[in-house]
């Protein structure tokens, strides 16, 4: 997809280069309308301007970014830019390692921790020529649905500062939505990319498990044994589906530090025609309710797909116990941790317990794979509600007047961490109390290209990303 030259020129004139997509930036570099140094200065200014109200950056890397931008500018001027992302800025969630930069991960215990090596995704981005501008906020150890922590304080939603930007990739989502970076690298262990993307009105992709290396990502210990089948994924967050495709093509693939990664081809990211698509529709799963606003947005998107020729039907979902799967997802994480990193407060799980848990999980994966033999994608909620007020995990949250347990709000996304399936959040074009609403598309294992293609088509119907007012 080519950039709109008028928009790129207007952005350069208005000093709004940070609000362009990665693809638009690359097109601007090729046309000589601006340089990577111009862009980095605008990104730094945008970060400084919005930091006081949204609090998204935990560790700035501005001087390194300026030096890298000067090198990239010279390379573009000489006609020899290096890499798919030459001179494109990116920010990195603070659970992903950048060599020589503190990886606080929201935890005071990590105040002196500086990783010696880049995480695999960061290595891939650097090889592709991307320029890292800062590390973004997360919650302590990535365990909450918000991005507040003792290290960085509260990260606020650019749509409404009284609401959370989500978690644990909340700083990432707020930075992208507010126009401080074209894309971000987040992690997703329990809807941690998709929930913030939904709350902030951007695109977010959790790839198939084992598509992108998790080497150099918390909770994988540095120097110790790497947990197997951790359910966590590394993925891109952006303002366009095209940028998701571009970034995924850079970070996906085998890595010697994570031998679980499978060398499965990505496929073609072209837009998928709606006509003839078979879309399973599930406004909720069993005992997991959603707000009326979320249901309404899903129904509106379903109607748009139908009017474009897609076959959208209420589907009979796999014969799995959704509540039990969620409980299993929650119990598998401590089993993995205790099996690989036992401690005085974390007794070692038996091998039998661990293998039994994996066997249960494999049965759920198989049930969903059988389901996706009949459907091109599943259209479903990313969460029970839109962005909620800042609160703590022990506080119940309201969904249309009814109290719901805190962590259950992300249950519709967590189910696909448990099953390992790729899932993408797409802005729906609908709003609730001036807050954006996303929809979730899920597909069979390794179908990221198809999901992104459907997201591109859906963007033409919904309008895609909207800029938060006043940012």
For residue 456, being part of any structural domain is answered with yes
What's the pLDDT score for residue 228? 66
pLDDT at residue 27 greater than cutoff 70: yes
Q: 3-state class of 206 per DSSP? A: strand
Q: Which two tokens stand for residue 48?
A: 């400084």
pLDDT at residue 344 greater than cutoff 60: no
In angstroms and rounded to an integer, the radius of gyration of the C-alpha atoms of the chain is 21
Model confidence at 319, pLDDT cuts 50, 70, 90, reads confident
Q: Are 293 and 435 in contact (CB under 8 A)?
A: no
* Residues 154-207: tens digit of each pLDDT: 999 999 999 999 999 999 999 999 999 999 999 999 999 999 999 999 999 999
Rounded CA-CA distance 39/42 in Å is: 5
pTM of the predicted protein model: 0.94
What's the pLDDT score for residue 226? 59
For residue 470, being part of any structural domain is answered with no
Model confidence at 260, pLDDT cuts 50, 70, 90, reads confident
pLDDT at residue 332 greater than cutoff 90: no
pLDDT at residue 268 greater than cutoff 70: yes
Rounded CA-CA distance 62/132 in Å is: 8
Strand partners, 389: 163
Rounded CA-CA distance 239/227 in Å is: 32
User: What is the phi/psi pair of residue 69, to 5°?
Assistant: -65, -40
> Mean pLDDT over all residues of the chain?
92
Taking residues 242-254, what's their average pLDDT? 97
Taking residues 418-437, what's their average pLDDT? 97
* Residues 53-112: tens digit of each pLDDT: 999 999 999 999 999 999 999 999 999 999 999 999 999 999 999 999 999 999 999 999
- Residues of the chain with pLDDT > 70, as a percent, come to 91
What's the pLDDT score for residue 188? 96
Rounded CA-CA distance 335/330 in Å is: 9
Model confidence at 331, pLDDT cuts 50, 70, 90, reads confident
For residue 342, being part of any structural domain is answered with yes
Q: Are 393 and 190 in contact (CB under 8 A)?
A: no
User: What is the phi/psi pair of residue 347, to 5°?
Assistant: -60, 145
* Residues 458-468: tens digit of each pLDDT: 999 999 999 99
Using alpha carbons, select from 286, 290, 285 the residue that is nearest to residue 402.
Answer: 290
* Count of structural domains within the chain: 1
Rounded CA-CA distance 378/311 in Å is: 12
Rounded CA-CA distance 458/440 in Å is: 12
By the 10 Å C-beta count (0-12 exposed, 13-18 middle, 19+ buried), 265 is classed as exposed
Rounded CA-CA distance 267/458 in Å is: 19
Q: List alpha helices for 372-423, DSSP H.
A: 411-419
Q: Which two tokens stand for residue 151?
A: 């290290």
Q: What is the CATH number of the domain that holds 426?
A: 3.90.1300.10
Model confidence at 356, pLDDT cuts 50, 70, 90, reads confident
Using alpha carbons, select from 470, 436, 439 the residue that is nearest to residue 454.
Answer: 439
For residue 27, being part of any structural domain is answered with yes
Taking residues 250-258, what's their average pLDDT? 90
What's the pLDDT score for residue 9? 63
For residue 298, being part of any structural domain is answered with yes
pLDDT at residue 422 greater than cutoff 90: yes
Rounded CA-CA distance 161/14 in Å is: 25
Q: Are 186 and 91 in contact (CB under 8 A)?
A: no
* Residues 106-152: tens digit of each pLDDT: 999 999 999 999 999 999 999 999 999 999 999 998 889 999 999 99
pLDDT at residue 15 greater than cutoff 70: no
Taking residues 340-357, what's their average pLDDT? 68
For residue 179, being part of any structural domain is answered with yes
Full domain range(s) for residue 69: 5-462
pLDDT at residue 318 greater than cutoff 60: yes
For residue 316, being part of any structural domain is answered with yes
For residue 74, being part of any structural domain is answered with yes
What's the pLDDT score for residue 152? 95
Rounded CA-CA distance 26/48 in Å is: 24
Q: How far apart are the first and last CA of the chain?
A: 26
pLDDT at residue 219 greater than cutoff 90: no
What's the pLDDT score for residue 1? 46
């Amino acid at each position: 997809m080519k950039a709109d030259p008028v928009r790129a020129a207007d952005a350069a004139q208005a000093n709004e280069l940070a609000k362009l997509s990665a693809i638009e930036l690359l097109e601007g570099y090729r046309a000589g309308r601006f340089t990577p140094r111009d862009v980095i200065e605008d990104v730094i200014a945008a970060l400084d301007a919005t930091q006081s109200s949204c609090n998204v950056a935990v560790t700035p890397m501005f001087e390194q970014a300026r030096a890298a931008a000067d090198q990239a500018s010279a390379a573009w001027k000489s006609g020899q830019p290096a890499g798919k992302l030459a001179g494109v800025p990116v920010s990195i969630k603070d659970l992903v390692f950048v060599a020589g930069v503190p990886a606080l991960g929201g935890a005071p215990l990590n105040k002196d921790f500086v990783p010696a090596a880049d995480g695999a995704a960061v290595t891939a981005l650097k090889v592709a020529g991307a320029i890292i501008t800062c590390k973004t906020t997360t919650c302590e150890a990535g365990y909450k649905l918000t991005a507040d922590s003792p290290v960085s304080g509260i990260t606020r939603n650019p749509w409404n500062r009284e609401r959370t930007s989500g978690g644990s990739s909340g700083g990432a989502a707020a930075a992208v939505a507010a126009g401080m970076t074209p894309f971000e690298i987040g992690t997703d262990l329990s809807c941690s990319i998709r929930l913030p993307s939904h709350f902030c009105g951007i695109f977010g992709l959790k790839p198939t498990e084992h598509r992108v290396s998790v080497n150099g990502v918390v909770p994988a210990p540095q120097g110790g044994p790497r947990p197997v089948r951790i359910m966590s994924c590394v993925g891109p967050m952006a303002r366009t589906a095209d940028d998701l495709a571009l970034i995924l093509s850079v970070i996906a693939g085998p890595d010697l530090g994570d031998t679980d990664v499978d060398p499965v081809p990505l496929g073609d990211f072209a837009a998928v025609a709606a006509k003839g698509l078979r879309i399973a529709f599930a406004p909720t799963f069993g005992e997991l309710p959603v707000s009326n606003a979320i249901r309404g947005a899903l129904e509106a998107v379903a109607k748009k797909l139908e009017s474009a020729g897609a076959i959208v039907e209420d589907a009979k979902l796999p014969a799995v116990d959704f509540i039990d799967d969620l409980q299993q997802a929650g119990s598998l994480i401590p089993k993995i941790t205790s099996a690989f990193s036992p401690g005085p407060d974390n007794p070692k799980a038996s091998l039998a317990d661990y293998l039994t848990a994996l066997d249960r999980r494999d049965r759920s994966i198989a049930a969903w794979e059988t389901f996706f033999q009949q459907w091109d994608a599943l259209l479903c909620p990313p969460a029970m509600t839109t962005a909620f007020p800042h609160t703590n995990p022990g506080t119940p949250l309201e969904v249309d007047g009814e109290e719901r347990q805190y962590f259950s709000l992300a249950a519709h996304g967590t189910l696909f961490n448990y099953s390992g399936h790729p899932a993408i959040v797409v802005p729906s074009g609908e709003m609730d109390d001036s807050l954006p609403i996303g929809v979730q598309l899920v597909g069979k294992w390794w179908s990221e290209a198809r999901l992104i293609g459907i997201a591109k088509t859906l963007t033409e119907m919904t309008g895609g990303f909207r800029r938060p007012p006043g940012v």
